Structure 1
Amino acid sequence: MFNLVKENSQRFITGTILLAVVLAVGLIDNYFLTWLFFGVIFMFAFYETLKLLKMDSHNNLFFWALMIWIVAYFYPNPDDLFFVIAIIFASFLAYHKDYDLRNFLPFLYPTSSFLFLLALYHDFGMDSLIWLLIVVASTDIGAFFIGKLIGKTQFSKTSPNKTLEGAVGGVALATFLGSFYALILVDLPYAIIISLLVSIASIFGDLFESYLKRRVNVKDSGNILPGHGGILDRVDGYLFAAPAMVILLRGLL
């Protein structure tokens, strides 16, 4: 175990710094600051997604991404904006029949997920974001350590280094820790169900980003975070987990 931590020291140092920043934002618990924090991460993630989709030349899309995020600050239901985007894009596509359909992809991923993240905070408060953080981080940490220690069975061909044992261990840890924290928000049965399903969603969020990277044969989405790679490499699980948590909280409570 000690050797495992030592070999990944840079990863843990970066992770500790990121956690400190996140905790600071959480303790302050201010809507503008949280929106700004998510917005900075979103723009980096948007840029990395364009690279993974081989759309580096489509810099004009940054303007629309920024406009959407500014509107999201004032709009009462940020996640609804995705459907507005879809309608506008479909209308534009219908009018200009030769319009490049790929232009919509960065607004499907990761834009819609960040809108759900903001909606989670807007509708359910900072405690829900902390719950999400615990679930996704526990899934990632549990899968990493358990996979390294006892993992033997490949989980998916998309990401050969991930193991089934690691995935199950990560989900189990996240369900336990997430359910324990969630008792301040929901009853135990809901805490278990939501933590379990959100954890599973985060695994496939991670897997989807691995799929995008394999399409262009790159190891990381970027290099801004030492030991972790790019922003997408760090938030990929949240991009599936956040919509799942919003939908489950709205549907079950």
Structure 2
Amino acid sequence: MNNIITRAVWGALFVVIIISSFIVGAYAAAIVLGFFMCIGVFEFYRFFEKSKIVQPKSYSGILGAALIYTLLILKQINLVEFPIELILIPIVFLPFLFVLFSKQKNPLLDLTVTFFPWIYVMLPFYLMFSIYNYGLETEPQWLYIIGLFVLVWTNDTFAYLSGRSFGKNKLFERISPKKTWEGTVGGFLFTIIAGVAYAYFMNGDLIFWIIASVVISPTSVLGDLIESKFKRIVEVKDSGTILPGHGGILDRFDAVIYATPFFYLLLTVLG
């Protein structure tokens, strides 16, 4: 019971922080997303802290991800006027020198793992801000980004509840033994219902939010499975302990990290 209460309290606090940052404004959204992004990148590097094969450059990787994220955000909200390529190109290409001077056995593998969370973690968080910053004339600025999180959380919640109530057939037992087809279908159906409800209450485009639900539900499941696979590879249970009862930032954002790029593409095409 105590664990359930702890999980509920921290889960609610997490939701409040996320939603509040979007409602407050662009600066708050950028800072909160950037903060979680940096923790997520750190957690990814920590997967390999006991590895004898891979030794990514953690601190350089976190600094690089933070700098790239900051530059992209500043450019998007028009706070910098100079060509950011002047800084981005050295940040991206100077680390290649590590291969030349490293005495490690697998410098190329170390460099690859160092770069990987820039794509897997940093880029989706930047796209979350891009979704938040999507130009709207009549609707609230947070309409799309909060909708994304609402649909992802709905899918996660009802997939879990449906799986516990009706789950019999395993979805991907080798990676996630608790996930079932029944839970996945339940999450999918309730996500569509949530999309319809969100369109109704927010006076949004019904067709768009139905299509968004159809896209977000499976990509959320895939994001969860991908992070589960990462954790199985490195043999860890949770990505971190920052959220009692929930694990780490990657454990909380795994679904939305993978769903975000596809929702961004959908928004760009249909928005």
Change in 2 beyond 3 A, CA 1:90/1:159:
farther
Q: Quick check: 1:8 aligned with 2:4?
A: yes
Residue of structure 2 equivalent to 1:213: 231
Q: What's the offset of the Cα at 1:247? A: 0.2
Q: What pairs up with 1:88-107 in 2 under 5 angstroms? A: 89=92, 93=96, 99=108, 100-107=111-118
Instruction: Mark the runs of 5 or more structure 1 residues left unpaired by the alignment.
Output: none
CA–CA distance in 2 between the matches of 1:90 and 1:64?
11
Instruction: Mark the runs of 5 or more structure 2 residues left unpaired by the alignment.
Output: 50-54, 79-83, 101-106, 136-140
The TM-score with structure 2 as length reference comes to 0.80
Residue of structure 1 equivalent to 2:205: 187
The TM-score with structure 1 as length reference comes to 0.86
Residue of structure 1 equivalent to 2:67: 67
Residue of structure 2 equivalent to 1:42: 37
Change in 2 beyond 3 A, CA 1:176/1:6:
farther
The answer to whether the Cα contact below 8 Å between 2:73 and 2:126 also exists between their aligned partners in 1 is no
Residue of structure 1 equivalent to 2:22: 26
Change in 2 beyond 3 A, CA 1:89/1:175:
same
CA–CA distance in 1 between the matches of 2:98 and 2:77?
28
Q: What's the offset of the Cα at 1:43? A: 0.7
The answer to whether the Cα contact below 8 Å between 1:53 and 1:212 also exists between their aligned partners in 2 is no
Candidates 232, 253, 258, aligned match of 1:235:
253
Q: What's the offset of the Cα at 1:182? A: 3.0
Q: What's the offset of the Cα at 1:162? A: 1.0
Change in 2 beyond 3 A, CA 1:128/1:185:
farther
The alignment's C-alpha RMSD in Å is 2.8
Q: Quick check: 1:133 aligned with 2:149?
A: yes
Q: What's the offset of the Cα at 1:199? A: 1.6
Q: Which amino acid aligns with 1:194?
A: A
Instruction: Work out which of the two has the higher radius of gyration on C-alpha atoms and give 1 or 2.
Output: 2
The answer to whether the Cα contact below 8 Å between 1:113 and 1:239 also exists between their aligned partners in 2 is yes
CA–CA distance in 1 between the matches of 2:93 and 2:266?
28
Residue of structure 2 equivalent to 1:163: 180
Candidates 198, 201, 204, aligned match of 2:222:
204
CA–CA distance in 2 between the matches of 1:64 and 1:198?
29
Q: What's the offset of the Cα at 1:229? A: 0.6
Candidates 112, 124, 141, aligned match of 2:123:
112
Q: Which amino acid aligns with 2:19?
A: L
Q: What's the offset of the Cα at 1:230? A: 0.6
Report the count of equivalent residues.
244
The answer to whether the Cα contact below 8 Å between 1:77 and 1:119 also exists between their aligned partners in 2 is no
CA–CA distance in 2 between the matches of 1:36 and 1:237?
21
